[in-house]
Amino acid sequence: MAEYQVRRWQAWHHHMLLVMIATMFLAKERLALDETPELLSCRDLVEIMPYKLPNKIVTDEDLATSIIDRHKRPHQAMESAYRRQAAMLEAFD
């Protein structure tokens, strides 16, 4: 966690919330598989997730849309950050 970087506190809170939800999921799955909880690893959870969570990707078109959206997000975040920085610089001028 020492090198973990976020731009704002809200991002850190979102990350911590997801970590807590993942930990709760792991604990609940270990309780549900009560005979062999020590054998349930993170890799096992990765394999369990597609069966436990709803799948939004049904067709190849959905998959392509998902990939395109995932690639757009970092660019949108950078553009937003640049706009904020430019606005801050203009405020100081």
What pLDDT shows up at residue 78?
A: 92
Q: Label each residue of 55-66 as H, E or C.
A: CCCCCHHHHHHH
Q: Are residues 14 and 41 in the same domain?
A: yes
Count of domains for the chain: 2
Q: Are residues 1 and 40 in the same domain?
A: yes
Instruction: Confirm if 7 and 14 have CB atoms less than 8 A apart.
Output: no
Q: Are residues 70 and 82 in the same domain?
A: yes
**What's the CA angle centered on 26, arms 63 and 18, to 5 degrees?**
60
Q: Are residues 43 and 70 in the same domain?
A: no
Give the residues of the chain that fall short of pLDDT 50: none
What pLDDT shows up at residue 28?
A: 82
**Residue type at position 19:** V
Q: Are residues 4 and 46 in the same domain?
A: yes
What pLDDT shows up at residue 1?
A: 53
How far apart CA 71 and CA 64 sit, in angstroms, is 11
How far apart CA 18 and CA 40 sit, in angstroms, is 20
